[in-house]
Structure 1
Amino acid sequence: MSIHHGRRPAAILLGIAIGVLPAATAASAADTAQQTAAAAHDEFRIVALGDSISLGYEPGVTRAADIYGYADRLYVNALLGGRARLDNYGALGLQSAGLTKLLEGATTGTKLTADELQDYSAYAADAKAQADSVAARAPEIRDSLADADLVTLSIGGNDFAALVRGLTGEANGDALSAFEAAFDDKLNIYAEQLQANLRTLHTLAPQARIEVADQYSPVSKIAGDTMYKALNAAIDKLSARLDDIQTKLAAEGVQVDVAHVGSVFRGQEVLYSHFSPLFGIIDIHPTQAGYEQIARAFAAPIWPAYTEIAPSDKAANPAPAVYIKGKLLATANKPQLKSNTTFLALSDVAAATGAELKWDNKTKTAVFKQNGREVKLTIGAKTILVNGVARTLNVPAYLQKVGKENKTYVPLAAITEGLDYQVAYQAKLHTAFINS
C-alpha cells in the first residue's frame, strides 16, 4: 500500500514546499492569474486532495516545475479538450484524521496550521511547512470544491505506515498474525473516516464527480513470498472495503468512483514505485510510470481515451511544443523562443486559432479579430493593442528568415491572451496548451 514515510522523503522536498501549489501545479503565477480571469468561460475544474500521492511527490524533486503526478496528467487531458483548471491541495504526510480537520476548516472557511490537522512532530521541517501552506488555504479549498467538476482523493497510506514498517522489519509468523489483527482494526477506523470525508466532499462539491484511489504495495516479490502475499492480501481487503463504501454511499445519493490502483501495481512494483531495499531505496512513492498508471485509473470513468503527452525535447527545441484547441501545432515555420517568450509565424497563429487576419504591408502591422475582440501589433513595437488598449510587450514582433522567405514572428501568448484564450504551460512537458 502507498505508505508514506514522512520522516524521510520530505527533507529533500522543497522549493515545492511553501505555497506554490494552490492552483495549476506546475504553472506560473501569470498562468494562475489567467485561469482566474477565465472563470467566466466554461472550463473543466479539477481539485486534487489528500497526501503526497495527490501532490505528485517523487524522491529527489526540488522544484515545483519538476512535479508531474497523476493530477497534472489529468489536467493535461482536460486541457486537450478545452479550458481547464487544477487546484492541487495534496499535503505531505496527511492522514485520514488530518483530512477530516482540513475539510472542517474548508467548511467553516477557517485557516489552519499543520499542527491543527494532525501531529507533525515526527516529520521533517519542510514537510510540515508544505502541510502548513495547504492548511492555511482551507477557505480556498471550500471555494475550489464549490466549482469543481472532478475531485480526486488519495488518502490512507500514512494511516497504515507504522504497521507496514513493522512487518517489513520482521515477517515471521507472529509478526504476520499481529499485522493482520492490527490491520483489521486500523482498516475499520480508516473506513469510517473515509465515509465521513466523502460525505463532506459531496456536500462541498455537489456538482463534482468524486473519485478515491485505493492503495498499492510498493514491495515486490524479491522481499519474499510471505511478506508479498500478506501485504497484497491487505490491499485486497482494503480495496473490497472501498467497494462496499461506494455501494453504501450510492444508496445515500453520494456517487463515488473507486480508482483501483492496487491491482495495477501488483507484479509491476519495481517499475511503478521507487521502493528498492536492495539498493538502499525505501521511498515508496510512484515513479513517473506509476503516476501515469494512477492517472489512467482516475481518468477511466471520464475520458474514454486517456492521452499521455511525451515531453518536448527542450535541448533540441528551446521553444515549447504548442497545442491549440487540443491539436499539436505542426508547421514548417519552427517556433522560436526569445527572452522566455514563444514566437510563432503570423500565419500559423491565424490558422491555428481561426482568427481573421489582416496585414498592412506599409506599416508592417497585423490585426487579428475573433469573437468581437481585436489584437493589433506592429513589427518592432514594444506595445500591443487589445481592443484599443495598449499592453507592453517584453519582446516585439520581428522578421525571421525561413528558407528563402522573411516571416513575421509574433508573441504567441500576447496574441492568444488578447483574443481571450487560456494559455497554460506545463513545465515538465515543456508544452503550452492554448484554448478558447
Structure 2
Amino acid sequence: MRRKLAMFGLACCLLLVWLGPAALAAGTAPASAAPERYVIFGDSLAIGFEPGLTTASVPYGYSDRVYEQALLRGRITMANYGIGGLTSSGLKTMMQAVAEGRKIKGSDIQPSLPDPRADQVVADTAKIKADIAAATFITITIGGNDIGAKIINELKDMDDAQLDTFASQWMSTYTDNVTSVLQNLFAINPKARIYIADQYSPVPAVMKAEYPKAQKLKNGFTATLKKIEQSFRDKKYEITAVPVAEAFVGNEGTYSHIAVRDIHPNQSGYDKIAEIFAKSIWGEYRNGLIRTEPITVVVAGRTVQTPHVPALLQGSTFVPLREYAEALGATVDWNAATQTATVRYSGNSVALTIDSATIVVGGVPKTIGELPAPHAHESAGETKTYIPLRLMAEGLGFDVQYVPQSSTAYINP
C-alpha cells in the first residue's frame, strides 16, 4: 500500500510538471537553430523515482540531468516515456504497438503496472512514434524489474548451478526483448543514437552470501548488453551500452536508498548515472556552474560573469539586459532621453522602455501582458536595466528553457 501511495504521489507530481510550461518563452528560431530532440524510455529510473516522493515533490533523475547537459550545448527538447515497474517484456510490447500505430493502455503492455500514469504515458502512440522519428538521441534504462526485488531473498539459497540457470534464462529473455525494442526504434528512426544502461547490483555489500552472486548477475548483464550493442553496430546502427553498473560496486549505500530496503538511486546515484550517460554521449560531464539566487541563468552554455546577478522583482525573475543580451551576441543601444533599450540580433529587434508595458518587436508595438515592465534596478553600485527573463526571447529567436528542479534557466541562440 505504501508503494502504491508513493507512486500515486509521483504521478500527481509529474502531472503538475508536465502540465506546466516547458519553457519560459520561445521566439521564432532561425531554421538553422532547430532544436535537437531527446527521448527517454524505461522504468522508474527513467522517471527519477525515489522513496518518499509526494505531490509536492519534483523528481530529479538522471534523464533531467542529461537534458540539462544537452541544454549546455544548445537547443533541445525532451520527451520522457518512462513507466514505473516496466519490464523489458512490457517495453517490447509498447514499442511493437508504437511501431504499428495501435492504440494501447498500460494494462495492454504489462499487467498490474504499479505506475498509475501508465495509461497517460502510452495514450498517444502516434506522438510517441513521431518523437522517435525526430529523436537525435534516445536513452533507455530497462531490465531491473525483470527479476524484481524478490531476487534479494532468493540469491542466498541458490547454488552455482541454479544461479547459472537463472542468469541464462533472464539474459535470454532480456536479449529477445531488447533486440525487438531496438529493431522497432531503428525501423522508425535509423539515424537515432541510442544509449542503453546496464544494471547495478540490487544487493548491499553487507549481505556477504548474496553480494558475490549479485555481482555475477550484474557482470552477466553487462556482458549480454555488450553483445547486443555489437550485433547492432555490425549493422551500422549507433548504439552504446552505457556502463552504469561498475560505478555502483561498493557504493550501493552511497548511490542508492538500499539502507531503507529500496534499490532506487538517491540524488547522488542519479547524478552519477547522468555523468556516465553524458560521458557516453558527449565524452564529458559539465558541472561546476556558478550558482546565483533566486535563479541561475546559463547563457549559451555558461553563467555570465557579472556582478549584476538575476533579481526577484514583483514576484518575477529579472536579469540585467545588456549583460545577458551581449553574451548571446546581441547588440544593445540605449536612448537616455526615452529610457529605451533596443536589442538587435540576427536581423530582429526589440525595443524595451523602462516602466512601460509595451515593447516594440520589429517595429510593431506589443503589450507584455501580465509580465512586470522593465525596471531601472540598483545593482553593485550601478543603475541597470533589468527585464523579465521571458522577454529575452521575445522577437529575437532566443530559446529559454527552465528546469525547476535545479532552478536554472538555459538561454540559447
TM over 0.5: yes
| Percent of residue pairs identical | 32
Instruction: For residue 11 of structure 1, report the CA deviation from its aligned partner.
Output: 2.3
- Output aligned runs, 1:120-269, within 5 Å: 120=112, 123=114, 127=115, 129-161=116-148, 163-167=150-154, 171-173=156-158, 178-224=162-208, 226-269=209-252
Mean Cα deviation higher: 88-97 or 343-352 = 343-352
Q: Alignment partner for residue 29 of structure 1, among 2, 6, 20?
A: 20
**Stretches of structure 2 lacking an aligned partner (at least 5 in a row):** none
Mean Cα deviation higher: 406-415 or 195-204 = 406-415
Distance change >3 Å, CA 310–CA 119, structure 1 → 2: farther
1:170-189 Cα distance to aligned partner (Å, 9 max, x none): x1356x75454233212211
Instruction: For residue 74 of structure 1, report the CA deviation from its aligned partner.
Output: 1.2
CA contact (8 A) 1:147 1:207 kept: no
CA contact (8 A) 1:183 1:234 kept: yes
Distance change >3 Å, CA 221–CA 149, structure 1 → 2: same
Number of aligned residues:
410
CA–CA distance in 1 between the matches of 2:319 and 2:249?
A: 46
Instruction: For residue 220 of structure 1, report the CA deviation from its aligned partner.
Output: 1.9
CA–CA distance in 2 between the matches of 1:67 and 1:419?
A: 32
- Aligned partner of 1:376 in structure 2 is 351
CA–CA distance in 2 between the matches of 1:64 and 1:37?
A: 34
Mean Cα deviation higher: 8-17 or 326-335 = 8-17
CA contact (8 A) 1:113 1:136 kept: yes
Distance change >3 Å, CA 53–CA 292, structure 1 → 2: same
Instruction: For residue 310 of structure 1, report the CA deviation from its aligned partner.
Output: 5.9
- What amino acid is aligned across from residue 242 of structure 1 in structure 2? L
CA contact (8 A) 2:28 2:396 kept: no
Distance change >3 Å, CA 420–CA 63, structure 1 → 2: farther
- Aligned partner of 1:327 in structure 2 is 302
CA–CA distance in 2 between the matches of 1:117 and 1:192?
A: 16
CA–CA distance in 2 between the matches of 1:239 and 1:222?
A: 23
CA–CA distance in 2 between the matches of 1:35 and 1:28?
A: 17
Instruction: For residue 339 of structure 1, report the CA deviation from its aligned partner.
Output: 4.3
TM-score, normalising length: structure 2: 0.91
Structure 2 residue matching 1:159: 3-state secondary structure: helix
CA contact (8 A) 1:26 1:66 kept: yes
- Aligned partner of 1:4 in structure 2 is none
CA–CA distance in 2 between the matches of 1:135 and 1:398?
A: 45
CA contact (8 A) 1:355 1:369 kept: yes
Instruction: For residue 380 of structure 1, report the CA deviation from its aligned partner.
Output: 1.2
Q: Does 1:100 align with 2:76?
A: no
- What amino acid is aligned across from residue 53 of structure 2 in structure 1? V
1:14-42 Cα distance to aligned partner (Å, 9 max, x none): 55415947xxx967733358579659433
1:280-314 Cα distance to aligned partner (Å, 9 max, x none): x111111111112212222223212211356947x
Instruction: For residue 101 of structure 1, report the CA deviation from its aligned partner.
Output: 2.0
- Aligned partner of 2:312 in structure 1 is 337
1:352-380 Cα distance to aligned partner (Å, 9 max, x none): 22212222222211111111111112111
1:396-420 Cα distance to aligned partner (Å, 9 max, x none): 0112223543322112221234311
CA–CA distance in 1 between the matches of 2:398 and 2:57?
A: 23
CA–CA distance in 2 between the matches of 1:321 and 1:382?
A: 25
CA–CA distance in 2 between the matches of 1:269 and 1:228?
A: 11
Q: Alignment partner for residue 265 of structure 2, among 283, 286, 290?
A: 286
Structure 2 residue matching 1:221: 3-state secondary structure: coil
CA–CA distance in 2 between the matches of 1:36 and 1:406?
A: 28
**Stretches of structure 1 lacking an aligned partner (at least 5 in a row):** 1-6
- Output aligned runs, 1:3-42, within 5 Å: 9-17=3-11, 20=14, 29-32=20-23, 40=31, 41-42=33-34
- What amino acid is aligned across from residue 130 of structure 2 in structure 1? D
Q: Alignment partner for residue 363 of structure 1, among 332, 338, 354?
A: 338
- Aligned partner of 1:3 in structure 2 is none
CA contact (8 A) 1:152 1:212 kept: yes
- What amino acid is aligned across from residue 12 of structure 1 in structure 2? A
CA contact (8 A) 1:310 1:429 kept: no
CA contact (8 A) 1:106 1:138 kept: yes
Q: Alignment partner for residue 296 of structure 1, among 275, 279, 287?
A: 275
- Output aligned runs, 1:391-410, within 5 Å: 391-393=367-369, 394-410=371-387
Q: Alignment partner for residue 66 of structure 1, among 49, 54, 58?
A: 58
CA contact (8 A) 2:101 2:125 kept: yes
Root-mean-square deviation (CA), in Å? 2.6
- What amino acid is aligned across from residue 70 of structure 2 in structure 1? A
- Aligned partner of 2:253 in structure 1 is 270
CA contact (8 A) 2:14 2:59 kept: no
CA–CA distance in 2 between the matches of 1:332 and 1:311?
A: 12
Mean Cα deviation higher: 357-366 or 321-330 = 357-366
